[in-house]
Amino acid sequence: MHLATKAAFGLAMIALAACNNPSKNGANGVVDPGGAYGEAGGVSQGSINDPNSPAYFAGKVGDTVRFVINQSTLTDEARATLSGQAQWLNSHGNYAAIIEGHADEQGTREYNLALGARRASSVQQYLISQGVPATRLRTVSYGKERPIATCAAESCFEQNRRAVTVISVGAGS
């Protein structure tokens, strides 16, 4: 048994800092494959008034759909938003998208990761059904790790139960 091992930790942690792919680092040092926390993946957001810009997609088409507690089925409102997303993606073949699934904090960490993946997958399947090639869509789940509203009430929880379609560079198109 080695009592000296703890001395090694300090050295080991320094070595780790270099492991991250800088292109995936969003704002505040958080790895962010999409753009929810800043311009990620080298995608210029452009102007919200430019119908060909990711900013227009996020702000005017609507990049976010919400879900009922513990559910991943799409509401009518979500389908309407996603139909708009599909239209935009179908007419902007130079872009791909990463669909981020999220959960509110009223759930355990692992389950919420899985639930977020279900939600992201629901969105992906719907976009595919509207003609967006599967090769342009990836999914990721953040579980309950990235709430956008932080109060301890349903008014915040409902905002966090979401899937966000984040425009990225056009791999696969």
- 15 is a site residue for another protein (CB under 8 A): yes
- 64 is a site residue for another protein (CB under 8 A): no
- CA-wise closest residue to 96 among 50, 145, 65, 139: 139
Question: 125 phi and psi, to 5 degrees?
Answer: -60, -40
Please check whether residue 162 is in contact with residue 78, taking contact to mean a CB–CB distance below 8 angstroms: no
- 39 is a site residue for another protein (CB under 8 A): no
In this chain, which of 59, 60, 62, 113 binds another protein, going by CB under 8 A? 113
Cβ-based nearer residue to another protein, 52 or 70: 70
Beta-bridge partners for 96: 168
Q: Classify residue 73 by its DSSP letter.
A: P
Handedness of CA 53, 56, 58, 63 (dihedral sign): negative
In this chain, which of 45, 52, 87, 106 binds another protein, going by CB under 8 A? 106
- 110 is a site residue for another protein (CB under 8 A): yes
Q: Tell me which residues touch another protein (CB under 8 A).
A: 1-10, 12-13, 15-17, 19-21, 24-25, 28-33, 37, 70, 72, 105-111, 113-115, 117-118, 120-122, 124-125, 138-143, 145-152
